[in-house]
Structure 1
């Protein structure tokens, strides 16, 4: 189980074959790698399920291999446009996730791949960026010239990139870290790094185009992939308000809204998280949460209501279906703009 969705296993994967199961999307949310937060946001899970299903169907129409089999409605696996109510369950092919042994923050990927064989979830997140906002960690890892910008230093405001930038970060480590291409190649195992990048760029293009049709600007996101007998398939969920960042008329329409709200209203907890992460790195501790001196507070009711409407209205606009009883996207955006 992840912090926001659960697994159902019908047939477990083996070294020789993929299994079958499903994701069940909950209304929980997570920010700053904390895990499950004190609140839930109604309609959030179904919104993510619908967006993810829509994107997988768009990808498969372009011949991109994925682990998606459909959404579950009335006990049947169906295409998204065949359901009458918002789906919460997504049928998928299952791969294997071997243990990743570690001592402190030193991870043994050789042991991971020895157990993985030819059927495993690639232990990487492949990140793509179309825009670099203020505060983005990319600003500390690259110069503007290295990402195609004609600037000697980073602009004070957010900046659009002339071409998308693709990066690789760890997937299963307690504190995610960005990787050099050589290190990412080693961690990917048998999965070809160039193929992973190609898939990320294709997903980015498909999501960007669909977002534009819905009046949204697609800023960045990530994919995860599985490797099975020489083939790389897009896995997990893609192009949702949790995995990606979107904007509408300059306002964020994604989990970033609630992330920034916490930064403004729960400064003590945010500082404790930053201190714990820094201390964990200095002391070679894998799980930084054990060092955190504070916990997040629940959200106010009006914030939960605003986020519920934002997820639902955004999903309606993105998939082009009236799945949810929600305000127009423009109205939902104006409400969260005032939080």
Structure 2
């Protein structure tokens, strides 16, 4: 199981053939790489499944290869969203191999061993990140100067800023802590998958999601994809175009998991600081798992925050699935404008 999705295998991938499986989207959430947090957010899983399936079907129409096969619940028939009668929680997917990535202590991760056992299909051990804007909480502000991403200024402003052209970056996928990479290192880690093709796919997905978001009254700030390699073809895996994988805005306010991240930063800085300290200690000790070194557990969210987050996910999903700011009737939810306004009261 991932931190927020249950993973079910119907037919495992082999060295020579892809398999079949399903994601079941739960109401769990994760922030700061912690894994599953103490609370559940009602209807979050269905909202993510709906937006992810919407994105995959848009990508299919655009000719982009993906592992998506349709939606359906409890091992029932697989179908498109057009034939769904309620928000789906399960997504049918094709499976590829995910080799073990050994950690060699001071020598780091052994990607040669990973690729040596990959066979004819594998999940590329990278996340490909695309950015149209730089929100206040973006890690890009810590890592790069404004001029390096095309902005004519020396320092980052206190408010979100749009980029003149989308920026594509690469980070690790299977390491205990995400690590941003230069293009040469990303190319080495990608194995047989072309880093140029990965970047091209990311830009196409970005275009599709950005267009859909605009139709829904949202601005698309940034997001990421994961990809597979199968017999020379690279396609989009995992899930894309959701309020966890992407950051969206509505009239200058966040419509994404970033709302919860910022709440923890504001209301529980001691826990956020303990997470950062644990990661630093893990680096110093040259160990992969930093969580046992964290001296604090994450506090639970107040009921008001859970309710506000649930409304944000469902209202956003209604708008994105419909391609209309007035939304659809998938969920009983407030309007997107009302859901976003409630965030300001937290």
Same structural fold, with TM-score higher than 0.5 when normalized by the shorter chain: yes
Give the alignment's Cα RMSD to 1 decimal.
1.1
1:223 alignment partner, SS class: strand
How far residue 249 of structure 1 moved from its aligned partner, in angstroms, is: 1.0
Alpha carbons 2:17, 2:120 under 8 Å: kept: no
TM-score when scaled to structure 2? 0.96
Aligned length: 339
CA distance in 2, matches of 1:7, 1:300: 29
Superposed displacement of residue 137, structure 1: 2.4
Partner in structure 1 of residue 316 of structure 2: 314
Aligned to 1:80: 81
* 2:285 aligned partner: 283
> Per the alignment, in what secondary structure is the counterpart of residue 72 of structure 2?
strand
**Which secondary structure does the structure 1 equivalent of 2:117 belong to?**
helix
1:135 Cα offset (Å): 4.6
Please give the alpha-carbon distance, in whole angstroms, between the structure 2 residues aligned to 1:322 and 1:90: 20
CA distance in 1, matches of 2:294, 2:142: 25
Native 8 Å contact 1:73 1:83 kept in 2: no
Q: 2:221: which partner in 1?
A: 219
Q: CA deviation at 1:297?
A: 1.2
Q: Residues 140 and 296 of structure 1: is their aligned pair in 2 closer, same or farther, counting only changes over 3 Å?
A: closer
Cα offset, 1:184, TM superposition: 0.3
Deviation (angstroms), 1:147: 1.2
1: CA distance between counterparts of 2:176 and 2:73? 35
Do the aligned partners of residues 109 and 218 (structure 1) sit closer, same or farther apart at CA in structure 2, a change above 3 Å counting?
same
Q: How far did 1:144 drift?
A: 2.0
Q: In 2, Cα distance between the equivalents of 1:6 and 1:225?
A: 19
For residue 117 of structure 1, report the CA deviation from its aligned partner.
2.2
1:127 match: 129
Residue 104 of structure 1 deviates from its aligned partner by: 2.7
Aligned to 1:99: 100
Q: Which runs of 4+ in 1 moved over 4 A?
A: none
The whole-number CA distance in structure 2 between the counterparts of 1:112 and 1:270 is 32
Describe the SS at the equivalent of 2:244: coil
Whole-Å separation in 1 of the counterparts to 2:137 and 2:49: 29
What pairs up with 1:152-301 in 2 under 5 angstroms? 152-301=154-303
Tell me how far 1:73 sits from its aligned partner: 4.4
Q: Where does the alignment leave 5 or more consecutive residues of structure 1 unmatched?
A: none
Which runs of 5 or more structure 2 residues have no equivalent in the other structure? 323-327
Match of 1:328 in 2: 335
Which string of whole-angstrom CA distances, capped at 9 and with x for unpartnered residues, describes residues 147-174 of structure 1?
A: 1111233333321000000000000000
Structure 2 residue 158 is the aligned partner of structure 1 residue 151 = no
Q: Residue 39 of structure 1 aligns to a residue in which SS?
A: coil
Preserved CA contact (<8 Å) 1:316 1:322: yes
* CA shift digits 1:197-235 (9 cap, x unpaired): 000000001000100000001100000001000000100
Is the CA contact 2:46–2:87 (under 8 Å) kept in the aligned structure 1?
A: yes
Q: Counterpart in 1 of 2:38?
A: 38
Shift of the alpha carbon at 1:336?
Answer: 1.4
What residue number does 1:54 align with?
A: 54
Does 9-18 or 152-161 show the bigger shift? Answer: 152-161
**1:282 Cα deviation (Å)?**
1.8
Do the aligned residues in 2 keep the contact of 1:208 with 1:218 (CA within 8 Å)?
A: yes
